[in-house]
Each structure stands twice: as structure tokens, then as C-alpha cells.
Chain A
Amino acid sequence: MQQLFDAAMFGSTLRIMTPILLAALGGALCSRVGLFNVGLEGLVLIGAFSAIVGNYLFGNVLLAVIFSIVIVMLFSALFAFISINLKANAIVVGISLNFLATGLTTFALRAIFDVKGAYYDKDMVGLPKWDIPLIKDIPWVGDVISGHSPLVYLGIIIVIALQFYLFKSVSGFRLRSVGENPVAAQSIGIKVRGIQYGAVLMCGVLCALAGAQLSLGQVTMFTEGMTAGRGFIALVATMLGQANPLGVMGSSVLFGFMEALSIRLQGFTLPTHFTMMLPYIVTLVAMFFFKDRTYAQDALKAGGSSR
């Protein structure tokens, strides 16, 4: 037990959690305006790939992240256009977007880098690791909290900012009203479409950051389909946290912890299949206990999901 739950594991929990958290916050924004975004997986994948491309083109991590944000915003604008203006079913658009992301990234990997499967360049510099002064010297806490990429800390800051924005600001109230009842929101002069577009584009920014953390955070590389279902886990985190930033944070921590635990358990004699299955089983169990009866139902009705 002692060697199982050491500081390194909680550190990796934070690290693993970040992409899920960022994407899930984007999903939360979307579902707050009544668009259930199943395309998170695809958006994160595009984010991860374009971050690597940006890094390759500019040789600068900051520019790479900005490049990734621009690219993913384009794709989320596509999602917004088709589901808002053309009134297609948001779930169908999201699924198609995932297909498009898988196809385009593997294609572009061949077209740009002329490699199959994965792109890796040892000269490429990834996201820096920040040591937090003072905190890094505290024995156990320092090992857990310090030494992560800036995006890990940014994710936590965004949670607090978003919580404040959604529930304490007038603009956040307007945004929520769009998801609650678009017709009523429209009738008091709220620009429903504008707010929906804004939320989806912000979701794109967050997914780009999630992708950048995946591809530039630990090892500077891209592999085909490297999101490996994290976007869907983020979707679950959104639902589990009831599109509430703090709740989303809580569920993301849970998933991050379960994944870190399953990686750690592989060192023991357990078959890896069961440890890898664990996060999904825990998610199911968590869904069972934390299901929301009011908000999620409304959002789903609006999104036209399972009835």
C-alpha cells in the first residue's frame, strides 16, 4: 500500500486529469447552452495534432499552442454552424466530427510528416515544467503539486474562473438561460445564437489546450488516435459534474486518479486488462450514484439524446 499511494502517483493524477478536465469544461459550456457536444474526442485529437504541427512550424511552444487553438476553433465553428444554423442533430454532427478528426489527423500525419502511426522528433521542445517556488520545497505536497506543465495550473485556474463566471456574473446568467429555455431567453432580448457560438468556440479553445497538454505535455509526440477515448471520458465527466465547473473538476480528479492507479497496478501481478477496465467501471458506478435528475435531463431533451 505504501508504495502504491506515493506522491508520484498523486502527481501523475494531476497530470492525467488535465486533458480530461479541460475538455470536460468545454463540454460543460456547450451543454450549458443546450448543445450536447459529442465531438470533444475529435476536437482534442485535432488539438493534439495541430499543437505538434505548430511546434514543428514555429519551433516555439507558445506559438504552437496558439496555432492549435486557432485550428480547433475552426473545427468547433464548423460544429456550431452545422448544428445551430443548419439545425442538424448536435449528436450526429459530433459523431461525424470525431470521424473527420480521426481521418484528417492520420491523413495529415502522412501528408505533412510522411510517417505512419506516430510522429516523434527528439529536438522538439515540449511544454515547460514549472517548479512552484516555496511549495516545491514542502516534502510531500511539493512532489505532488510542483513540476507540472503550465496547462495543469491553467486548468485549475479556469475551473475557478468559470465557476465564478457562470454563477456570479450577469453574462454567465444569460449563458445559462440560453440552455435552460432558449425561447424565453430570446424573448427577453438575449442573442441566443451569438451566445451559443461563443460557448462552442470557447469549447474549441479548451479542447485545443487539452490536446496540447496531451501531445506537448509529457513527451513531444503525436500518435494516431492518441486521445484513446479521453474525449468520451471528458463527456462523462461533464455529465457527472452536471456541467458545473467544480463538479467537473471533481469527476476529472476521480478519472485521473483511477487511471493513475491502473497504471500503477500494472506493476503488480494483476492482469492489465482489469486495471485498464477499472476507470470505465468506476465511471459507470459513479454515473449510477451521481446522476442528475433535473438539469441533465433538460439538456438532453434539448440535445435530442436518449429519451
Chain B
Amino acid sequence: MNRVKESLRGLVQPLLAVFIGLLAGAVAILVVGGSVVDTYAEMWKGAFGNFYFFTNTLARSTPIILAGLGVALAFRAGFFNMGAEGQMVLGGLSAALTALYLPGPGWFVCIAAIVAGIIAGGVWSLFAGWLDARFGMNLLITTLLLNYIAIYFGGYMVSYPFKDRTGSAAMAQTPMIDQSVWLPKLFQGMGLHAGFIIAIVAAILIYWFTHKTVTGYEIRMLGSNPSFATYGGVRRIRMMMLSMIISGGLAGLAGAGEVLGTQYRFLDGSLSSASYAWSGIMATLLARSHPLGTAVAAILLAALQTGAMGMERNTDVPLEVGSVIQAVLTLFVSAQIGYSFLKRRKEKKSNATTV
């Protein structure tokens, strides 16, 4: 009974946050002189209007789910992994290069490319974790810095050594990956590819891992009460390394999925400019690091983004209304976390502002 109550209470806050976000969006729409009802109707149509748009939304949510899951796991362990973007870029780059230069049957190369992407992302993330564990360099900052390094490195690789020189020479991109290596499409003529299934499976696996296994429990314990966890014999450094490598690996997988399923090549800036990684972080914040919740939140954010695109095609309201709604949503959820703290504080009647 308690569990049901708990999960219902968990639902109230995100729903309330969505409501507030839409309210903020309505204000923004009114400011530019649009009709709220029409605009939201167009937005809905753009995201879910027909089967094509719906699969489009799911396709866009795929990298967001994966990157978000990675961040969620690190959050659960108490670490701020802000480096999903860089991990994604390196994952995508490694996947593209593996797919291009590894000989073998298509399915084998595809799997190898995915694995390469996971490894590249994981190692890049592990590096940041190692710098923190070994040298006490703040993880939040190092992961942020490593983003820029990874993005410029990826840009260099496809501008010079691995540049596609066959077609339009202006684009910094690798050559097209052979069709036999592509991730299969789920429906004929639609953008949705097998990566979405991988993402959903990953969400379920991460849920199972964090909620049903001992290691997962230890990771969660480390995040919610580090001193208790250490007292209880959780090996902090080991758990940190583990959560960082999984976290980065998932981001790398997100990059690999985009390369193998959508773009079929590594194109400079395409992974970072769509800000999948930051949307993933937002999804995690919305779902408070719950793996399945993160997947749902990622689909919601993707719907907002594709919906905003559809809305811009058919109304005069700028597409950025979508990002305003997203941001207010996240901000409001963080305030909600505070609300429960507030209640707890009232009970204790303490007044000190220990943040």
C-alpha cells in the first residue's frame, strides 16, 4: 500500500511541474501575441499528430534517454557527471570509425561499433572519475572541461585525418557508413531505428540494476548518505569508478546510436548542437534520477522539441517557446525537491541555514 502511495506522490510533482511549465509557455505565447490554444494544439500535432510525427518524437528521444540514464546513474551515486556531451561525441566518433574501417559482416561490425562507442564514452568518463578519486579534482568541473576537449578533438578528426573527401568538401564529416552496418529501422520510411529499443532495454536494465542488485543498492546508498555507506563498508572509490564508467558508456552508446541509426556518419557538431546531452540532464532532473522516469521524461522533452518545430511551421510563435517550457519545468522540479526539505525542516523547527 505504501509503495503505491509513494509512487503516486512521486507522480504528483512531475505532473505539477509540467503544468507550471505549460503555464510559463502560455505566458510566453501571449507575449508574442499568439493564441495559446491554437499554439498548443499545433505543438501536440507536431509531436503526436500522426504516426510519422510520433515515431519522429521517439527517434529524437532515443539519445536523450540514453544520455539521461547515464547522468541519472551518476546522480544516484552522488556525482555530477556534466560530461555527457563529450562522452557522446567520442562515442559517436569511435562508432563511426569502427563502422568504416573494421572488416567483417554488417551485423558484426554494427555490434562492434556500438561496443566501441560504449567503451570510448566509458573511458572518457572514467578518466574524469579517476582525476577526482586520485587527485581530488572536482568532477563537476573536469567533466565540463573534458566536453570541450572531446568536441574539438572530434572536430579535428573529421576535418583532417578522416574527412570525407568524396562529396561536398565543405562539410567536416566522415564518409558514409556502409548500409549493411546501419541500425535497422523499425518501420518502413520512418526515422525510428532499433536504437530506441536499445534505449528502452537500457532503462529497464538500469532500473533493475539500481533497485534489485546489491551493487545498485550500494550506489544509491552512496548517493543518499555517503558517510553511512562508507560506514557500512561500501568501497567509495570503486563504486564511483563503476558508476562513472557505466554513466559514460551510456552516453557513448547514445552517440553510437545516433551515428549508426540516424546520420550514418560522424558529422562535426551534429551531436553537440542538438544538445541531446543537456536534454538528458534535464530529463534526469525531472525524473529525480529514476531510470524509468528518466525515459518517460526524455520522451516528454523530445515531444516538446519536435512539437515546437511543428508549431513553428504552422504558427508565428517562435520555436524557442519549447525551451522556455523545458527550463521552467526543470527549475520548478528542483524547487519541489526543496519543498520536501522545507516540510522536514518545519518538523524539526531548526533555523540554521546549513545548505
Which residues does A use to contact B, with CB under 8 Å?
34-35, 38, 82-93, 95-97, 99-104, 106-107, 110-111, 116, 182-183, 186, 192-193, 196, 229, 232, 235-236, 239, 271, 273-274, 276-277, 280-281, 283-284, 287-288, 291, 293, 296-297, 300, 302-307
Q: Given contacts A87-B338, A96-B331, A99-B282, are A274 and B226 in contact (CB under 8 A)? A: no
Contact B138–A103 (Cβ < 8 Å): no
Contact of A280 among B28, B137, B149, B278 (CB under 8 A): B149
Contact of B327 among A100, A287, A291, A300 (CB under 8 A): A100
Flag whether B144 is at the interface (Cβ < 8 A): yes
Question: How distant is the Cα of A283 from the Cα of B138 in the complex, in angstroms?
Answer: 12
Flag whether B145 is at the interface (Cβ < 8 A): yes
In the complex, how many angstroms separate the beta carbon of B338 from the nearest chain A beta carbon? 3
Chain A residues whose CB sits within 8 angstroms of the CB of B142 once the complex forms: 284, 287
Q: Mark B134-162, 1 if CB is under 8 A from A, else 0.
A: 01111111101110110011011001100
Chain B residues whose CB sits within 8 angstroms of the CB of A239 once the complex forms: 138, 141
Closest 9 pairs (CB-CB, A-B): A86-B338, A103-B323, A88-B338, A306-B139, A273-B156, A100-B327, A107-B320, A110-B318, A99-B327
Contact of A104 among B132, B153, B285, B324 (CB under 8 A): B324
Q: Given contacts A87-B342, A287-B141, are A106 and B153 in contact (CB under 8 A)? A: no
Flag whether B354 is at the interface (Cβ < 8 A): yes
Max count, chain A CB within 10 A of own CB: residue among B79, B278, B330: B330
Flag whether B200 is at the interface (Cβ < 8 A): no
Identify the stretch in B39-47, B93-101, B174-182, B345-353 within 8 Å (CB) of chain A at 4 or more residues. B345-353
Flag whether B355 is at the interface (Cβ < 8 A): yes
Minimum CB distance partner of A99 in chain B = B327
Chain A residues whose CB sits within 8 angstroms of the CB of B148 once the complex forms: 229, 277, 280
- For chain B residues 83-141, which have a beta carbon within 8 Å of chain A? 131-132, 135-141
In the complex, how many angstroms separate the beta carbon of B331 from the nearest chain A beta carbon? 4
Contact A96–B341 (Cβ < 8 Å): no
* Number of A-B pairs, beta carbon distance below 8 Å: 174
Question: How distant is the Cα of A257 from the Cα of B23 in the complex, in angstroms?
Answer: 45
Flag whether B31 is at the interface (Cβ < 8 A): yes
Flag whether B337 is at the interface (Cβ < 8 A): yes
Minimum CB distance partner of A78 in chain B = B331
Contact B328–A100 (Cβ < 8 Å): yes
24 inter-chain pairs at a CB distance below 8 angstroms, sorted by A residue, are A86-B338, A87-B355, A91-B140, A92-B337, A95-B330, A100-B328, A102-B327, A103-B324, A104-B327, A106-B318, A107-B28, A116-B318, A182-B352, A182-B353, A186-B351, A196-B353, A229-B148, A273-B156, A274-B156, A276-B152, A280-B152, A288-B131, A291-B136, A304-B355
Q: Mark B162-194, 1 if CB is under 8 A from A, else 0.
A: 000000000000000000000000000000000
Minimum CB distance partner of A105 in chain B = B320
Question: How distant is the Cα of A49 from the Cα of B345 in the complex, in angstroms?
Answer: 38
Flag whether B208 is at the interface (Cβ < 8 A): no
Minimum CB distance partner of B144 in chain A = A232
Chain B residues whose CB sits within 8 angstroms of the CB of A296 once the complex forms: 138
Contact of B152 among A38, A87, A274 (CB under 8 A): A274
Contact B353–A110 (Cβ < 8 Å): no
Contact A84–B285 (Cβ < 8 Å): no
Contact of B135 among A34, A92, A288 (CB under 8 A): A288
Flag whether B303 is at the interface (Cβ < 8 A): no
Flag whether B339 is at the interface (Cβ < 8 A): yes
Chain B residues whose CB sits within 8 angstroms of the CB of A104 once the complex forms: 324, 327
Flag whether B72 is at the interface (Cβ < 8 A): no
Flag whether B335 is at the interface (Cβ < 8 A): yes
Flag whether B326 is at the interface (Cβ < 8 A): yes
Question: How distant is the Cα of A87 from the Cα of B348 in the complex, in angstroms?
Answer: 14
Question: How distant is the Cα of A182 from the Cα of B341 in the complex, in angstroms?
Answer: 17
Contact B355–A34 (Cβ < 8 Å): yes
Max count, chain A CB within 10 A of own CB: residue among B80, B323, B355: B355
- For chain B residues 312-332, which have a beta carbon within 8 Å of chain A? 318, 320-321, 323-324, 326-328, 330-331
Minimum CB distance partner of A282 in chain B = B145
Given contacts A88-B337, A90-B355, A288-B131, 5 further A-B contacts (CB under 8 A): A86-B342, A104-B327, A106-B323, A236-B144, A284-B149
Contact B326–A305 (Cβ < 8 Å): no
Chain B residues whose CB sits within 8 angstroms of the CB of A271 once the complex forms: 156, 159-160
Contact B159–A273 (Cβ < 8 Å): yes
Contact B320–A291 (Cβ < 8 Å): no
Flag whether B213 is at the interface (Cβ < 8 A): no
Contact of A307 among B32, B78, B156, B327 (CB under 8 A): B78
Q: Given contacts A106-B323, A300-B138, are A95 and B281 in contact (CB under 8 A)? A: yes
Chain A residues whose CB sits within 8 angstroms of the CB of B352 once the complex forms: 182-183, 186, 192
Chain B residues whose CB sits within 8 angstroms of the CB of A304 once the complex forms: 355
In the complex, how many angstroms separate the beta carbon of A21 from the nearest chain B beta carbon? 17
Chain A residues whose CB sits within 8 angstroms of the CB of B78 once the complex forms: 306-307
Contact A38–B140 (Cβ < 8 Å): yes
In the complex, how many angstroms separate the beta carbon of A69 from the nearest chain B beta carbon? 22
Contact B335–A86 (Cβ < 8 Å): yes
Contact B355–A111 (Cβ < 8 Å): no
Contact of A192 among B138, B327, B353 (CB under 8 A): B353
Chain B residues whose CB sits within 8 angstroms of the CB of A192 once the complex forms: 352-353
Question: How distant is the Cα of A283 from the Cα of B333 in the complex, in angstroms?
Answer: 33
Q: Mark B248-268, 1 if CB is under 8 A from A, else 0.
A: 000000000000000000000
In the complex, how many angstroms separate the beta carbon of B275 from the nearest chain A beta carbon? 9
Question: How distant is the Cα of A281 from the Cα of B152 in the complex, in angstroms?
Answer: 11
- For chain B residues 62-83, which have a beta carbon within 8 Å of chain A? 78-80, 82
Minimum CB distance partner of A100 in chain B = B327
Chain B residues whose CB sits within 8 angstroms of the CB of A229 once the complex forms: 144, 148
Contact A86–B353 (Cβ < 8 Å): no
Contact A306–B80 (Cβ < 8 Å): yes
Question: How distant is the Cα of A137 from the Cα of B80 in the complex, in angstroms?
Answer: 51
Flag whether B270 is at the interface (Cβ < 8 A): no
